[in-house]
């Protein structure tokens, strides 16, 4: 399995506080990698460094190709839409950021695949929480990325919207797109992830499939494992 | 780039606040003052004043609020992980704002000719177009700078007012500073709006001397370049983030990026 991104020995400090402390992380082709860990564990800083948003104080990030930005899609925790723009116009703007000029019918078809066809001409800010998340994900898929980062994609969504977003992630994985997502929902992580990396204290505390982790640590559930490993570290 | 400019323009025209303050207000101000003070010389000054003030507030202040809204929504952070460059995004914003400025200015000029009887020469109109374009670029960049120096909406309001009002008050947009203290006129001369008004004032009217327009226009162009450079240099990806200069040097997708 090809390694898409390899981070070695990442360190990030804010003043005297070390948030990421010599962290190693690899992201492989075709996998659904869940990054979990308590708030303040270093997940966001790690992702920011991997995505080139922050410079590591030490360590190295290698990408599988020269121009990774063209092949990576990113959905942040917030749903960043242009104020006053419809779903279709937001899609058009973000497509343009990747040098694409899709026609309206292509955009509508793309929105339809994310079950947003009827909402295409609605102000993005007026969409429901689930629709906004799906639109944010749809925007990251416009340029057919090989790898997609989703930061807490189901946070603050109702059960129906969660199910819709999970379905979208599953269909992405089925189509061969590598997915990296963060979540605090262990059931969701168990259902979606082919590999899990638990970050705690700025380091990878455990990594593997859910079954490997449960067997290694003798836990009955991911939630139990999470609490046990993060308790020890705190 | 064209797609982005076009989509931004659509967004601008859909925004009620922009429509009122950038389009309705200058036309109403021109007609209100122009019809009240029924004087041909003042009508010319009024036209120059309305055109330049509209650019100052429309480009600088509205841009500052737009940039802040985009930043706070995380749009710039997301933009940063795309292949689209920040400089190109600032350029697209500036181009959309310039296009809007030209459209509104066109309406103001037509109203001044029809309703106030202002007479303009062909050369003057061509020079006015050039002045408006350079002014729009300059003051849109000023709007970016105001937003870059701000962390929230209150800051934007305060900083854009701190930048815009001294420029307006030390200029001759609506009144003469002939009897004003020297220090006030000196302060005015240090600011780009002074040259914007001076160039526009020289271009409005029937007899236009290009020699009166080019020097202030050249200085305005210099300010535009300087302000654009500062706008790019101080650009911030997010409210808490480092300025663009530092961020660009520090990060970005680079194969084998090392700390």
What pLDDT, on a 0 to 100 scale, did the predictor assign at position A231?
80
When pLDDT is cut at 50, 70 and 90, the band that residue B255 belongs to is: very low
All residues of chain A having their beta carbon less than 8 Å from the beta carbon of residue B239 are none
The helix/strand/coil state of B256 is coil
Q: How far apart are CA A161 and CA A116, in angstroms?
A: 13
Q: Do A96 and B3 touch (CB under 8 A)?
A: yes
The closest of A82, A211, A95, A178 to B2, measured between CA atoms, is: A95
State yes or no: pLDDT of A134 exceeds 70: yes
What pLDDT, on a 0 to 100 scale, did the predictor assign at position A210?
94
Q: What is the average pLDDT value for chain A, to the nearest integer?
A: 90
Q: Do B251 and A54 touch (CB under 8 A)?
A: yes
Q: How far is B136 from chain A (nearest CA, A)?
A: 22
- Degrees (nearest 5) of the Cα angle B185, B190, B196? 85
Q: Model ipTM?
A: 0.82
Q: Do A92 and B258 touch (CB under 8 A)?
A: no
Residue percentage of chain B with pLDDT more than 90 = 42
Q: At what angle do helices B153-169 and B62-72 cross, to 10 degrees?
A: 160
State yes or no: pLDDT of B25 exceeds 50: yes
All residues of chain B having their beta carbon less than 8 Å from the beta carbon of residue A65 are 255
What pLDDT, on a 0 to 100 scale, did the predictor assign at position B241?
58
When pLDDT is cut at 50, 70 and 90, the band that residue B52 belongs to is: very high
Q: What is the average pLDDT value for chain B, to the nearest integer?
A: 86
Query: What pLDDT digit, counting tens, does each position of B95-110 carry?
Result: 888 888 888 899 999 9
Nearest to B11 among A49, A82, A97 (CB): A82
Q: Return the biggest CA–CA distance within chain B.
A: 70
Q: Which residue of A has its CA nearest to B86?
A: A97
State yes or no: pLDDT of B252 exceeds 60: no
Contacts of A164 (CB under 8 A, 6+ apart): A115, A130, A134
What pLDDT, on a 0 to 100 scale, did the predictor assign at position A192?
93
Q: Do B3 and A99 touch (CB under 8 A)?
A: no
Q: Do A62 and B255 touch (CB under 8 A)?
A: yes
Tell me which CATH homologous superfamily contains domain A3-233: P-loop containing nucleotide triphosphate hydrolases (3.40.50.300)
Residue percentage of chain B with pLDDT more than 70 = 92
Query: What pLDDT digit, counting tens, does each position of B179-237 carry?
Result: 899 999 999 999 999 999 999 999 998 888 999 999 999 999 999 999 999 988 888 87
Backbone angles phi, psi at B171, to 5 degrees: -110, 175
Query: What pLDDT digit, counting tens, does each position of A37-76 carry?
Result: 998 889 989 998 999 888 899 999 999 998 888 999 998 8
What pLDDT, on a 0 to 100 scale, did the predictor assign at position B248?
43
Contacts of A84 (CB under 8 A, 6+ apart): A123, A125, B11, B14, B15
What pLDDT, on a 0 to 100 scale, did the predictor assign at position B124?
94
Cβ atoms A47, A206 nearer than 8 A: no
SS3 labels along chain A? CCEEEEEEEEEEEECCEEEEEEEEEEEECCCEEEEECCCCCCHHHHHHHHCCCCCCCEEEEEECCCCHHHHEEEECCCCCCCCCCEHHHHHHHHHHHCCCCCCHHHHHHHHHHCCCHHHCCCEHHHCCHHHHHHHHHHHHHCCCCCEEEEECCCCCCCHHHHHHHHHHHHHHHHCCCEEEEECCCHHHHHHHCCEEEEEECCEEEEEECHHHHHHHHCCCCHHHHHHHHHHHHC
Question: Contacts by B209-213 with C-beta closer than 8 Å and gap 24+?
Answer: B210/B123, B210/B127, B213/B127, B213/B131
State yes or no: pLDDT of B259 exceeds 60: no
Interface residues of chain B, partner chain A, Cβ below 8 Å: 1, 3-4, 7, 10-11, 14-15, 69-70, 73-75, 77-84, 237, 250-259
Q: Do B7 and A101 touch (CB under 8 A)?
A: no
Q: Do B11 and A99 touch (CB under 8 A)?
A: no
What pLDDT, on a 0 to 100 scale, did the predictor assign at position A233?
55
Interface residues of chain A, partner chain B, Cβ below 8 Å: 10-11, 49, 51-63, 65-70, 72, 74, 76, 78, 80-85, 89, 92-99, 101
When pLDDT is cut at 50, 70 and 90, the band that residue A22 belongs to is: very high
State yes or no: pLDDT of A17 exceeds 50: yes
All residues of chain A having their beta carbon less than 8 Å from the beta carbon of residue B80 are 52-53
What pLDDT, on a 0 to 100 scale, did the predictor assign at position B37?
87
What pLDDT, on a 0 to 100 scale, did the predictor assign at position A33?
96
Query: What pLDDT digit, counting tens, does each position of A169-216 carry?
Result: 898 889 899 999 999 999 999 999 999 999 998 999 999 999 999 999
User: How many CB atoms within 10 Å of residue B114?
Assistant: 9
Cβ atoms B167, B193 nearer than 8 A: yes
DSSP B175: S
Q: Do B73 and A53 touch (CB under 8 A)?
A: no
Q: How far apart are CA A50 and CA B252, in angstroms?
A: 9
All residues of chain B having their beta carbon less than 8 Å from the beta carbon of residue A11 are 259
Average pLDDT (B110-133) is: 93
Q: How far is B91 from chain A (nearest CA, A)?
A: 13
Q: Which residue of A has its CA nearest to B80?
A: A53
All residues of chain A having their beta carbon less than 8 Å from the beta carbon of residue B243 are none
Q: Do B255 and A60 touch (CB under 8 A)?
A: no
Q: Do B257 and A60 touch (CB under 8 A)?
A: yes
Q: Do B251 and A94 touch (CB under 8 A)?
A: no
Q: How many CA atoms, within 13 angstroms, populate the side-chain half-sphere of residue B238?
A: 15
Nearest to B253 among A54, A63, A84 (CB): A63
Q: Which of A69-73, B19-23, B221-225, B243-247 has the highest mean pLDDT?
A: B221-225
State yes or no: pLDDT of B250 exceeds 50: no
State yes or no: pLDDT of B242 exceeds 60: no
What pLDDT, on a 0 to 100 scale, did the predictor assign at position B256?
47
When pLDDT is cut at 50, 70 and 90, the band that residue B254 belongs to is: low
What pLDDT, on a 0 to 100 scale, did the predictor assign at position A50?
93
Query: What pLDDT digit, counting tens, does each position of B79-96 carry?
Result: 888 988 877 887 888 888
- Degrees (nearest 5) of the Cα angle A39, A44, A45? 115
State yes or no: pLDDT of A158 exceeds 90: no
Q: How far apart are CA B24 and CA B16, in angstroms?
A: 10
What pLDDT, on a 0 to 100 scale, did the predictor assign at position B223?
97
């Amino acid at each position: 399995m090809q390694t898409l991104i390899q981070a070695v020995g990442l360190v990030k400090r804010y003043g005297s506080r070390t948030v990421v402390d010599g962290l190693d992380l690899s992201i492989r082709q075709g996998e659904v990698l869940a990054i979990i860990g308590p708030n303040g564990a270093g997940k966001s800083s790690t992702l920011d460094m991997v995505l080139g948003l922050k410079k590591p104080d030490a360590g190295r990030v290698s990408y599988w190709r020269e121009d990774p930005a063209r092949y990576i899609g990113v959905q942040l925790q917030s749903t960043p839409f242009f104020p006053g723009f419809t779903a279709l116009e937001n899609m058009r703007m973000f497509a343009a950021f990747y040098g694409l000029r899709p026609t309206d019918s292509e955009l509508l078809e793309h929105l339809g695949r994310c079950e947003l066809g009827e909402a295409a001409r609605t102000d993005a800010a007026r969409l429901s929480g689930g629709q906004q998340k799906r639109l944010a994900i749809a925007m990251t898929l416009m340029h057919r990325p090989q790898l997609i980062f989703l930061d807490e994609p189901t946070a603050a969504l109702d059960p129906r919207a969660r199910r819709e977003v999970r379905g979208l992630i599953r269909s992405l994985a089925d189509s061969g797109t590598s997915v990296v997502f963060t979540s605090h929902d262990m059931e969701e992580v168990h259902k979606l992830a082919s590999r899990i990396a638990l970050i705690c204290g700025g380091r990878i505390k455990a990594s593997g499939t859910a079954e490997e982790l449960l067997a290694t640590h003798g836990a009955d559930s991911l939630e139990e494992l999470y609490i046990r490993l993060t308790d020890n570290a705190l | 780039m064209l797609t982005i400019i076009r989509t931004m323009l659509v967004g601008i025209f859909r925004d009620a606040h922009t429509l009122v303050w950038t389009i309705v207000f200058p036309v109403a101000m021109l007609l209100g003052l122009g019809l009240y003070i029924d004087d041909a010389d003042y009508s010319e000054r009024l036209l120059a004043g309305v055109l330049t003030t509209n650019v100052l507030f429309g480009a600088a202040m509205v841009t500052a609020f737009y940039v802040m809204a985009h930043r706070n929504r995380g749009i710039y952070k997301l933009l940063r992980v795309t292949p689209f460059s920040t400089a190109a995004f600032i350029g697209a914003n500036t181009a959309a704002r310039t296009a809007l400025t030209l459209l509104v200015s066109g309406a103001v000029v037509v109203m001044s000719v029809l309703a106030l009887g202002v007479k303009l020469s062909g050369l003057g109109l061509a020079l006015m177009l050039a002045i408006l374009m350079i002014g729009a670029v300059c003051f849109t960049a000023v709007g970016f700078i105001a937003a870059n120096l701000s962390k929230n909406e209150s800051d934007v309001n305060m900083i854009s007012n701190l930048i815009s009002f001294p420029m307006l008050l030390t200029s001759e947009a609506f009144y003469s500073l002939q009897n004003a203290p020297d220090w006030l006129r000196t302060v005015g001369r240090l600011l780009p709006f002074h040259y914007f008004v001076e160039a526009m004032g020289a271009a409005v009217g029937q007899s236009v001397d290009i020699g009166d327009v080019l020097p202030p226009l050249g200085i305005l162009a210099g300010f535009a370049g300087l302000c654009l450079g500062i706008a790019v240099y101080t650009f911030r990806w997010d409210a808490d983030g480092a300025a663009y200069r530092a961020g660009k040097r520090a990060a970005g997708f680079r194969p084998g990026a090392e700390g």
